Amino acid sequence: MLSRDPLHLETGDAKSHGSTFAADVRAMLTTRPRSISPKWFYDERGSKLFDAICDLPEYYPTRTELAILTQHAGEIASHMGERAEIVEFGAGSLRKVRLLLDAMQGPARYLPIDISGEHLARCAVELQRDYAGLDVQPVVADYTQRLLLPAPLPHAGKRVGFFPGSTIGNFTPDEAMHFLVVAGQVLRGGALLIGADLVKDPDVLHAAYNDAQGVTAQFNLNVLSRANRELGTNFDISKFWHSAFYNAPQSRIEMHLVSRARQRVSINGESFDFDEGEAIHTENSYKFTIEGLHALAVHAGFRPGPVWMDPERMFSVHWLHAPA
Ligand code: AVJ
């Protein structure tokens, strides 16, 4: 089957990203304490850096989730049933879905949704090449906003959402709830297969976000280089350092970019000051307990099904029945 151009199913123009990158950088500069959404990490370079993070020895989530999916693919596929349709939220490089596709019985269609359009298009073409008979329809959209999807195919089986990688951990509990409610609407009568990183030894968490090669630092700093590339800001990247630590009371890793000195940054002729030690909060990565994730899911109208974990209980993959 010929691969198609990505569908752009945002609710309108670029502003339907909830905001544009330019507006969010401006808001970061004008608001205190300073913060910006982690969704802006993922331009072309950021997506590649993230892929490199996934291969790091310290970053256990990707490897562990892949092992869980590999080991239980058959059982997961049997829950999906025949001719199921997979909707992947924040599909990235489309690596993990291959494990599911290989085990499924005649998957009807695959709809990968991602905000990073070019990266998605390229990966979709590659996937299409390897799965010639599969209907691959990439969707460029911000799934944290309202989501419109093509209607289910006439003879399709279940619609199954796939949200791996513990990306749900980027959301605050309120945002996670909102996402699950919206996903429940899109997946009505089907299910959600979701990966959630688990609460564990803080030293293990700390190492995963402070790798020895400094790839995570580059990934974090990329949001500022991206602003320089796309918006003409003049952030001096060498004057910010990568800070990542576990906030135990909130069960989350926090990432920040901290100014090494007093400095001034300008955008469109306007200047903004950073104090020495002033931080830009760039990411939260929440860690879950099984009960905590189930409580969220139930609150959003899902019914918890099986949970798959690695023997060391580092990571969890959940089958959640969507509301009827
Ligand atoms: C893609 C959001 C799941 O939180 O672990 C990796 C992103 N940030 N290293 C995560 C990330 C720093 C990742 N998620």
Question: Mean of the per-residue pLDDT values for the chain?
Answer: 93
Q: What is the mean pLDDT of residues 115-136?
A: 90
- Edge-to-edge order in the sheet of strand 315-321: 7-8, 139-140, 109-114, 85-89, 159-163, 191-197, 315-321, 303-309
**Which of 37-46, 251-260, 283-292 has the least mean pLDDT?**
37-46
How far, in Å, CA of 128 to CA of 137, rounded?
9
How far, in Å, CA of 119 to CA of 47, rounded?
8
Identify the H or E element spanning 307.
Answer: strand 303-309
The pLDDT value given to residue 18: 61
The pLDDT value given to residue 119: 83
Ligand 1 neighbour 170 (Cβ under 6 A):
yes
User: Measuring from atom 13 of ligand 1, which residue has the nearest CA?
Assistant: 167
pLDDT at 187 over 80: yes
Task: Name the E strands within 139-269.
Answer: 139-140, 159-163, 191-197, 240-247, 252-259, 263-267
Residue closest to 281 by CA, chosen among 309, 304, 250, 310: 250
How far, in Å, CA of 224 to CA of 234, rounded?
9
pLDDT at 14 over 90: no
How far, in Å, CA of 280 to CA of 49, rounded?
20
- Are the beta carbons of 260 and 276 closer than 8 angstroms? yes
Which tokens go with 7?
């569908």
Q: What is the mean pLDDT of residues 190-200?
A: 98
The pLDDT value given to residue 147: 79
Which of 6-10, 14-18, 64-68, 150-154 has the highest average model confidence (pLDDT)?
64-68
pLDDT at 12 over 80: no
Ligand 1 neighbour 165 (Cβ under 6 A):
yes
Ligand 1 neighbour 218 (Cβ under 6 A):
no
The overall pTM is greater than 0.85: yes
Q: What is the mean pLDDT of residues 180-198?
A: 96
